[in-house]
Amino acid sequence: MEREAAPPPEPETEATEDEKPVNEPESAPVAEVEVESAPETEPPPEAEPAKEPVAETAPEVAAVPAQEPVAAPTLEPDTATGTINATVEELNAAFSSDKAGTNAKLLNKLLQVTGPVHKIVVKDNLDIFYIILAGAGRPSTWQVRCTFSREHSAHLSRLTEGQEQMVQGTYVGYERNIILKECSLVQ
């Protein structure tokens, strides 16, 4: 077996005192000198060409079927009974179109109102018995608050929200709701 001879190591070169690394001098910042000369007249900036307006596209909205507005009803009393028959939507339309006129026309009159029951409140201990009738479909601006006496509490307890109900009572005014007092359920 023959062994190959390893190449001899390369001699390392060491820096001697004579050979010192040369440091390059840092360049000193040179101040720029501005020479004043006659002011140059700059041409006026070019006017940008008028941009044509871009029509913005409105975001697409899903089409909602429009409900036909209910015309303001006449709200005339029935000649046989003297009561004014109306739905919650008809009262809502009448109050939305002419609040003061409708209030004056109905004040202390007997109304028979039909609409879905929105809320039922029966509190025997506080003598509070009323229901709120609301418009069908979309939320109405005006709802009808029908106040009952204690003798009607059992009938009110059997009502369910959403049930269509006819109520008869005396119109006494409005606040947040159209208010009927001394009401009874009409079967």
Predicted confidence at residue 64, as pLDDT, reads 46
> How far, in whole angstroms, is CA 32 from its chain's centroid?
63
Give percent of the chain with pLDDT exceeding 90.
48
Q: What tokens appear for 174 in the block?
A: 């409005």
DSSP state of 152: G
Residues belonging to the chain: 187
pLDDT of residue 66: 47
| pLDDT for the residue 14 | 55
pLDDT for 123 = 92
Instruction: Note the pLDDT of residue 18.
Output: 53
Phi-psi region of 147 (alpha: psi -120 to 50; beta: other; left: phi over 0): beta
Q: Which residue has the tokens 């201990």?
A: 125
pTM assigned to the model: 0.60
Q: What is the pLDDT of residue 187?
A: 79
Q: Going from the N-terminus, what domains does the chain have, and what CATH number goes with each?
A: 84-186 (2.40.50.140)
CB 65 within 8 A of CB 45: no
| C-alpha distance from residue 159 to each of 103, 146, 148 (Å) | 29, 13, 13
β-strand 110-123 against 164-174: which pairing, if any?
antiparallel
Q: Using CB atoms within 10 Å of the CB of residue 76, give its burial: 0 to 12 exposed, 13 to 18 middle, 19+ buried.
A: exposed
* pLDDT averaged over every residue in the chain: 78
Low-confidence ranges of the chain (pLDDT < 70): 1-73, 138-140
Residue at 137: amino acid letter: G
